Amino acid sequence: MYTFNIVGVSPVLSFFAQQQELFEKNLETGVEYISSFECTLDALIHSVETVNAQQSWDLDEVVDSVIKFWMKNSEAVYHWRDRLQDAGKDSLLVSRVADIDALKTEFELLFET
């Protein structure tokens, strides 16, 4: 089972620097942060289709989690669409897709530190 959530808007360079840092650490956490220049359902689906193949996730279930988020959270979608538009062309919409168990583990580790 997977979860999807929009987490914010970021300058392009900041997001890619963070992604590069994670790549260099070679962490396979079961949590992926993805980006899109647009806040549309098609753009979000496309962004999760590019998730690292090493995760060996069920892509149909991941896409389904995006669609469910979109359908149940219209206010959040509109909010982030507006924030992305306000931020300008050099910004990205950042979302998180995760295996639910891996996300729980990540949150537990945050509380332990």
Q: In this predicted structure, which of 75-79, 84-88, 94-98, 108-112 has the lowest mean pLDDT?
A: 108-112
pLDDT value of residue 26:
65
Give the predicted TM-score (pTM) of the model: 0.85
What's the confidence (pLDDT) of residue 95? 97
pLDDT value at 17 more than 70: yes
What is the rounded CA–CA span in Å between residue 70 and residue 11?
23
Looking at residue 27, its pLDDT comes to 64
Edge-to-edge, what's the strand order for the sheet holding 31-36? 2-11, 91-99, 31-36
Mean pLDDT along residues 69-93: 97
| Tokens of residue 93, six digits | 């919409």
**Mean residue pLDDT across the chain:** 89
Question: Cα-Cα-Cα-Cα dihedral of 30, 37, 67, 80, to 10°?
Answer: 100
All residues at 6 or more sequence positions from 22 whose CB lies less than 8 Å from its CB, including other chains: 33
